[in-house]
Structure 1
């Protein structure tokens, strides 16, 4: 008896004809600023701004080049379609489930990015996570915490400034890589192009749906609000308005289209994934639980993604995704109704976040900052605070 072939998930309006032009498109406003900065030999001032941007939450520093000051002032307004109520609901969801979401960023979002062979190429080209895994993970985690903390996208928050910084970093990548004669734009597209940017945004905006594989249960209203929050963030990141999905269903269609278009095996993706896995194993205390990193990735990622990035096979820890998950049950009130799989992920994420926080705040120089409100909500404490307590 022959089986009926299962049709691929719907791509909606996102045909190749619609998406192909975005692979050749950068972000005109940020690109123009970076080109002018390099032309005027003002790179040192920009580098200084990048290093101190987290502290510049209210006023634009007077010593910045005019082009950069204008850019910061022109790109910090909310879009007219933004719904503050939805944004707050999305951020509230992160405050409640942010530990699992943070772990999913490392075990679903990043692996999905590495499964896109063309996007992985630019990461390794620019000495990405395979060589500077520590810095890239800190940057990713800090960005997520900055934009998803309640108030993070407001005038007093860090989120908008962080997004503006990333937007400029992408323009800098395009400036440098695009000039490299070895870069094959006809094959890979413009480095840090619009399609790759919106794809990366979706790996963050669709995290609630990925987490249902660990037993978390979100309403459609919650998923929609969380997506809307990231849609606003996409605006601040300079994603073209015609490429930003209109709503959650539109985003799901775009996600399927990108998966069909871009998921391919590549040595770059394999190298990036191996570096990520090794780093996460190092950050989770002990060695007995090392296999949980890969087990969680395989639980969350599709088979196509797992194969594309050469994800190793799971060991005995795969059973922790089942009956043995009770070992990691948490006392957090917000997690009381969650499945054991969700509790396992929250426990692992707590270990990871505490490890990042304690290691990066030593010596009085903060390079990874967890907002106090999230530390309290997630019951996190640095190594110094634990010792003092």
Structure 2
């Protein structure tokens, strides 16, 4: 299969951001309405709720235009994705925390960009926002009136545009060398980290997945990408294309950086606080090292621990648990409840019981430098690495 992703194509993706959101944010700053927007948007947390009086006109128009998912969404596929998430929620949370987030830090310009936001001084906020966003997505009413997912997407899209606005306006980003900050290439890269890389991590952990479930989960993140401003025509259409994109993206950009190591250290410290006691603290580092591999873990300065060898037994343990789940309705119910409870408790620890609000940052850090599915009949295997 010939890949549409070449160095030339990827370079082109680096030159564009998100015109719709960029225009809204630029107008809000020009009119001095960002503070008013953020204050009023704290009251907009559910889809279909009346918009507050006094909301700037440009923001009101944006919220109306982005209030619905793309017309092409296959709702049967989205329901399959939701069931896949329910069946694997604790594994998905593990993959997001210990593979997807560290993968972001393996891209030096992304790590530098993440370090530009005040939120990264509080890593629990970043992780809570990511976890809450995913949980909102996989609710049965995610796109219906009363849900929290659509407003969260609308706010995150504007947050990305605000970061672009600050970096470009203040000449704190080398556009000539790095392209547009939070460009289409990086947005698609993030989409791959939260979809294909999660599936890769579940496979590495030995989690039983059907091809149908894996494809549906990937499809759900295609919908999310479109709602976050990714050009649908340029994002991977299937898992095979996703592998082609991700392989080239990582070859082009991944490597060590001080910012990547610092953010990883924050992540490890955060989860060591979440894990009760201290005996199991090294498991956090061991899981990251197991899921991203030794080379990448060394780039991120993930410490080696005595648990590194123990963690390699995770697929065997999960295999035993999932055999119990497949063969016993009671076992399936118990493990599903455990997964739900684990996800809720983890999110509660990160959010301290609060709903996370996504706001447009008015400035950047001044020191910035550069019901469960049936047992799968056919297990999913990752697409082969792309050679071309």
TM above 0.5, yes or no, is yes
- Cα 1:182/1:99, change in 2 over 3 Å: same
User: In the alignment, what sits opposite 1:18?
Assistant: 9
Aligned runs of 1:1-389 on 2, under 5 Å? 12-55=3-46, 57-129=48-120, 131-206=121-196, 207-316=198-307, 318-322=309-313, 353-357=344-348, 360-361=351-352, 366-367=355-356
Structure 1 residue 50, shift from structure 2 partner? 4.0
SS in 2 for 1:196: helix
The number of residue pairs the alignment matches comes to: 352
CA contact (8 A) 1:328 1:347 kept: no
Structure 1 residue 323, shift from structure 2 partner? 7.6
CA contact (8 A) 2:160 2:182 kept: yes
- Cα 1:134/1:28, change in 2 over 3 Å: same
SS in 2 for 1:60: coil
Ranges in structure 2 where 5+ consecutive residues have no aligned partner: 329-333, 358-370, 373-388
Structure 1 residue 349, shift from structure 2 partner? 9.1
CA contact (8 A) 1:22 1:193 kept: yes
Structure 1 outlier segments of 4+, above 4 Å:
323-337, 346-353, 365-368
Once residues 194 and 335 of structure 1 are traced to their aligned partners in structure 2, the CA distance between those partners, rounded to angstroms, is 41
Once residues 350 and 9 of structure 2 are traced to their aligned partners in structure 1, the CA distance between those partners, rounded to angstroms, is 45
Once residues 79 and 126 of structure 1 are traced to their aligned partners in structure 2, the CA distance between those partners, rounded to angstroms, is 30
- Cα 1:323/1:189, change in 2 over 3 Å: closer
CA contact (8 A) 2:48 2:146 kept: yes
Once residues 161 and 155 of structure 1 are traced to their aligned partners in structure 2, the CA distance between those partners, rounded to angstroms, is 11
**Which one is further off, 174-183 or 287-296?**
174-183
SS in 1 for 2:237: coil
Structure 1 residue 348, shift from structure 2 partner? 9.4
Q: Normalising by structure 1, what TM-score?
A: 0.81
Structure with the larger RCO, 1 or 2 (CA within 8 Å, 6+ apart): 2
Structure 1 residue 92, shift from structure 2 partner? 1.1
Once residues 232 and 53 of structure 1 are traced to their aligned partners in structure 2, the CA distance between those partners, rounded to angstroms, is 22
Structure 1 residue 59, shift from structure 2 partner? 3.1
Q: Normalising by structure 2, what TM-score?
A: 0.82
Once residues 77 and 15 of structure 2 are traced to their aligned partners in structure 1, the CA distance between those partners, rounded to angstroms, is 32
- Cα 1:290/1:78, change in 2 over 3 Å: same
Structure 1 residue 184, shift from structure 2 partner? 1.8
- Cα 1:169/1:255, change in 2 over 3 Å: same
- Cα 1:360/1:80, change in 2 over 3 Å: closer
Cα-to-partner distance string for 1:299-349 (whole Å, 9 max, x where unaligned):
211444323322221323531431897599879975778xxxxx99x9799
Cα-to-partner distance string for 1:195-243 (whole Å, 9 max, x where unaligned):
1111111111121232111111212221111111110111110111232
- Cα 1:11/1:355, change in 2 over 3 Å: same
Structure 1 residue 158, shift from structure 2 partner? 1.6
**Which one is further off, 69-78 or 154-163?**
154-163
Ranges in structure 1 where 5+ consecutive residues have no aligned partner: 1-9, 338-342, 375-389
Cα-to-partner distance string for 1:164-217 (whole Å, 9 max, x where unaligned):
110000011111121223322223322222111111111111212321111112
- Cα 1:332/1:155, change in 2 over 3 Å: farther
Once residues 254 and 315 of structure 1 are traced to their aligned partners in structure 2, the CA distance between those partners, rounded to angstroms, is 35
